[in-house]
Amino acid sequence: MAPALSYGPLFCDLDLDKPGRRIGEILLTHSDNIHCYGTIPIPITVIKGGDGPTVLLSGGNHGNEYEGQILLRRLINILESKDVNGRLIIMPSLNFPAVKDIQRVSPLDQGNLNRSFPGAPDQGPTKAIAGFITNHLLPIADYGLDLHSGGAHANFVNCGFLCACDDPVLHKKNIKLAEAFGAPYTVVSPLGNTADGYDPVAHTMGVPFLSCELGGNCGSSVETLDVGWRGILGFLVETGILNENHTLIQQIENRKHGTRYLMAKDHHANVMATHSGLMEPLVELGDVVSAGQPVAKIHSMHGALDIVQTAKSSHDGIIAIQRTGCLVETGNYVCSVYSEIKHDALISLVE
């Protein structure tokens, strides 16, 4: 039996190297007014077949983002070790304390897992989870995919999410993964953005890594789940881990190929509310807008006839993110207008 893995308050005795299909937990020891004399289980599944790469798949990095959690459980229910060339490590509810609490961040320490990497063993449970991943899972991974969505306050166009890195070779590998994922759009995050996120830390360790954003509003839809499912399968085919004759491959044979790359032009990409009130959207997610075009009205909650702001786009682009709900506070974003960039410009970001 392989030795147990431990990091700070976390330990796991699931054998990651043994062939077969095993479902288990990473156990988090935590003591507070609710949790005492026990552990919090974080689900993990390992499916290992013949020779091939190790692929790390995760969802629930933010607890109220459900599309990835659903899709990875679907994958676990379908795949057996005979279907896999290599090893799949699947964590469908990465930040399980946040998942259980139906919140973006952990109720244990208010930690945002995707802002907690590379982690630490003694700075709270969220950084400990990040540290376990950094120290035990990323070092054995050849590829990684982390599934996100808009959570409680946003809807995204269905998109891959590509964090640029300063290694040109790795950057090109990540682009290939985005193209294999094949979402209608791929949002590009520039160099140096969210350095304490999961993706950038994976990149510093030389692991080709992609994220995605699938819908949001704490729900799911048939269309969004279909985009995500086909994206996961395309990703697995690209990495070579799914047997080439597997019936799942047939589910992506007829999908449209190609993805449109979007990037925030500058900080004005996020259209902000300058007043609190009731938001009336004037555009839909995915709409093409022009500079100066109104995208939302903010109505005063205190005067029936008062429009306190007409929010406008600062530039031409596509509505890539839209706030959900009608109540906004000063400083909340209304929507995000991203500009399309061509493949050559994407490559040149790190050259």
Which of 263, 288, 311 is at the close of a domain?
Answer: 263
CA triplet 197, 42, 138: central angle to 5 degrees? Answer: 40
- 348, part of any domain: no
Query: For 5-21, how does the pLDDT look when each residue is reduced to its tens digit (9 = 90+)?
Result: 999 999 999 999 999 99
- 107, part of any domain: yes
Query: For 208-263, how does the pLDDT look when each residue is reduced to its tens digit (9 = 90+)?
Result: 999 999 999 888 899 999 999 999 999 999 999 987 767 887 777 666 668 999 99
The enclosing domain of 226 has a CATH number of 3.40.630.10
Q: Are residues 94 and 195 in the same domain?
A: yes
Q: Are residues 191 and 298 in the same domain?
A: no
First to last CA, the chain: 46
| Residue span of the structural domain in which 292 resides | 268-339
Q: How many angstroms separate the CA atoms of 105 and 115, rounded? A: 10
Looking at every residue in the chain, the average pLDDT score rounds to 93
> In this structure, what token pair is assigned to residue 34?
């609710």
Q: Are residues 215 and 318 in the same domain?
A: no
CB 238 within 8 A of CB 176: yes
Q: Are residues 245 and 131 in the same domain?
A: yes
Which of 213, 234, 263 is at the close of a domain?
Answer: 263
Locus of tokens 């699947």: 90
- Supply the DSSP symbol for 114: G
| Total number of domains constituting the chain | 2
Q: Are residues 89 and 226 in the same domain?
A: yes
Q: Where are the beta strands (DSSP E) in the chain?
A: 5-7, 10-12, 20-29, 39-48, 50-59, 85-91, 143-148, 154-163, 185-189, 209-216, 260-263, 270-272, 277-281, 288-289, 294-299, 307-312, 317-323, 327-328, 333-341
Mean pLDDT throughout 132-158?
Answer: 96
CA triplet 337, 340, 229: central angle to 5 degrees? Answer: 90
Phi-psi region of 174 (alpha: psi -120 to 50; beta: other; left: phi over 0): alpha
Q: Are residues 235 and 326 in the same domain?
A: no
Q: What is the pTM of this model?
A: 0.94
Beta strands 85-91 and 50-59: pairing type? parallel
Q: Is the pLDDT of residue 73 over 70?
A: yes
Which of 263, 297, 314 is at the close of a domain?
Answer: 263
Query: For 126-136, how does the pLDDT look when each residue is reduced to its tens digit (9 = 90+)?
Result: 999 999 999 99
Q: Are residues 63 and 135 in the same domain?
A: yes
Q: What 3-state DSSP class applies to 311?
A: strand
